[in-house]
Amino acid sequence: MNSEPKLASTATYWETATPDTSSQNGLAEWPHRTLKEKVRCLLYTAGLGVTFWSSALLHAVWLYNRTFHTELDSTPYQMYTGRRPTVDGLLTFGCRLTPKKSTSRGPALNPNTYDGIFLGYRATMDNIIYWDTNAQRVRTAKHHEHDEMQYGSAPDERSPASKHLLETMTGAPHTERRTDILLERTDKAYDTQTDDVRPLHEQIIDNSPLPFAASAAKFARPSPIELTQQLEMMDISLNIFEPAVSETLPLQGTHDTLGLITYQHPAYEETAVFKQCHPGTVSHKTIRRWKSRLKGSIIRMIDDITITDTTQLKRIIREKRQKGQTQVKIQFAQPLWSSMTGEGLPTLHFDQLNDIAHHLHAMKTGHDLWLDKT
């Protein structure tokens, strides 16, 4: 796209910089450095790997917009909206959550909560975003309980932030503060008991896993050494995909796409968006919970071939059948569209740095250089 007419209309001049000289574009690059430092800090204190860098970036911008700036003598949020930000009940990024399930409850004794990790807020602080450690996906919730110090987790599973909070609040090593195991009694109230039959509640606890154990087996925080190595190599990129999910489908039936109904995204080229599974086809019978897990995702690859549109998807499946192949592995990836800002989440668009510079100049000086915003 030729952007020179647009730049000329806003009195902006295009001048390229030489490679590896960020100082030549300091006004645009300085926010990058500030945000990358905040992202690294959030990921390290939360004990999360670079997989969660996009969520950490969104939360870093959210915090940055609600932080006092001396140049503005206010916060960016207040300068933009005219309202003072409210940060009551601000949660620690990466802390443990137990949100309430949104579906109807089953039997009274069934658990009615998820286990998750806090990743940020939506339009208001009433609605939170979290990583479901059991389903391995991002979810939202309103009703939840949180454990910022991870008091109920084993010491080796706690994040650096929770360890620091525990030791600061209690004045003792965090390893001495735990409720994930049944500690031995210190009193001798039951020493007179002669038989070896233990109390019923101890038998139940010993024979039952902790509520967090099943989900913890699927999610493990990296060690501080591994986390430091990952964050040192981390950089902000334009990748718009969350972690991918692969499904293996047998090459059965006659449907040209194995029942995968796709469409082309109107704004993003070379993307085949998964819409639904055709009833009665092999994908409809094989892929479990495709509506909640994969609907709206991008079909990125079939085996080792990148998919760009529906026509190519049909051609690749036809060629696999002609070769006598019995099954294919299809990779789905949930996109993080840059246009998903209507829910109130602050998002940094890396191709709009000139617009950001104009807004910062207008807030600082009161003089708007960009009068025509049509």
What is d(CA 285, CA 223) in angstroms, rounded to the nearest whole number?
Answer: 40
Q: What angle do CA 140, 144, 147 make, to 5 degrees?
A: 115
What is d(CA 74, CA 268) in angstroms, rounded to the nearest whole number?
Answer: 37
pTM of the model: 0.50
Task: Identify the band that residue 214 occupies on the pLDDT scale cut at 50, 70 and 90.
Answer: very low
| CA 7 distance to own-chain centroid | 34
Report pLDDT for 198. 63
Asked if pLDDT for residue 77 goes beyond 80, the answer is: yes
Q: Once rounded to an integer, what is the mean pLDDT over residues 23-46?
A: 83
What is d(CA 329, CA 242) in angstroms, rounded to the nearest whole number?
Answer: 18
Task: Identify the band that residue 15 occupies on the pLDDT scale cut at 50, 70 and 90.
Answer: confident
Those residues whose C-beta lies under 8 Å from the C-beta of residue 197, and which sit 6 or more positions away, are none
Query: Exposure of 98 by Cβ count < 10 A (0-12 exposed, 13-18 middle, 19+ buried)?
Result: buried
Report pLDDT for 314. 92
More confident residue, 37 or 189: 37
What is d(CA 147, CA 95) in angstroms, rounded to the nearest whole number?
Answer: 6
What letter represents residue 329's amino acid?
Answer: K
Asked if pLDDT for residue 59 goes beyond 50, the answer is: yes
Q: Dump the DSSP string for 101-132.
A: PSSPP-STTS--B--EEEEEE-SSTTSEEEEE
Q: Once rounded to an integer, what is the mean pLDDT over residues 196-221?
A: 54
Q: Dump the DSSP string for 141-186.
A: ESSEEEETT-TTS-GGGS-HHHHHHHHHHHSS-GGG---SS-PPP-
Q: What is the mean pLDDT of the chain?
A: 76
Asked if pLDDT for residue 10 goes beyond 90, the answer is: no
Report pLDDT for 7. 74
Helix axis angle for 26-46 and 224-232, nearest 10°, is 170
For residue 181, what are its two tokens?
Answer: 């195991």
Report pLDDT for 351. 46
More confident residue, 324 or 358: 324
Report pLDDT for 258. 92
Q: What angle do CA 97, 99, 101 make, to 5 degrees?
A: 150
99-113: per-residue pLDDT in tens?
Answer: 877 666 566 666 677
Q: Once rounded to an integer, what is the mean pLDDT over residues 345-358?
A: 55
Domains, in order of start, for the chain:
245-333 (2.30.42.10)
Task: Identify the band that residue 371 occupies on the pLDDT scale cut at 50, 70 and 90.
Answer: low
What is d(CA 98, CA 3) in angstroms, rounded to the nearest whole number?
Answer: 47
Asked if pLDDT for residue 71 goes beyond 70, the answer is: yes
CB 177 within 8 A of CB 151: yes
Region for 257 from its dihedrals, namely left if φ exceeds 0, alpha if ψ lies in -120 to 50, beta otherwise = alpha
166-205: per-residue pLDDT in tens?
Answer: 888 778 787 777 766 655 555 544 444 445 566 655 655 5
More confident residue, 368 or 162: 162
Report pLDDT for 110. 67
Task: Identify the band that residue 157 occupies on the pLDDT scale cut at 50, 70 and 90.
Answer: confident
Report pLDDT for 215. 46
290-348: per-residue pLDDT in tens?
Answer: 888 888 888 888 988 888 888 999 999 999 999 999 899 998 887 765 444 433 344 55
Report pLDDT for 122. 86
Asked if pLDDT for residue 352 goes beyond 60, the answer is: no
Report pLDDT for 317. 92
Report pLDDT for 170. 79
Helix (H, G, I), strand (E, B) or coil at 336: coil
Report pLDDT for 20. 66
